[in-house]
Amino acid sequence: MYLGATLLKYDFKIDSHNEKGPEFVTKLNSKRCWFEAITPSPGAGPDAVPEMEYGAKIAIRVPTDEITLRLRHAIHEKYKKYQHYVDEGIIGNDESYIIAKTQKG
């Protein structure tokens, strides 16, 4: 929802392709440009991103390895969807595909 609202705020005319495509499509320079939103989860198990303790009285390690792993996984999943959209003819080879990271809340 935030992605769509932001595109509208900047005067993009957006449309939803259908249930089988990315969230939004718009035209840029007469070509379709597709937008797909991702909100990576913290994961589970030993490589999960731990809950951050804001305002802690001690320094804590920023879990960059865990964050990178979650982002990489989310982008990889969207890339697989992109390949499917191209194979199905939903997205053309000459069209842009943008993965927008959003956050919860």
Higher pLDDT, 2 or 18: 2
Three-class DSSP category at 2: helix
What is the pTM assigned to this prediction? 0.76
What confidence score (pLDDT) does residue 37 get? 87
Round the average pLDDT of the chain to a whole number and report it: 86
Burial tier of 69 (Cβ tally within 10 Å: 0-12, 13-18, 19+): middle
The model's confidence at residue 18, banded by pLDDT at 50, 70 and 90, is low
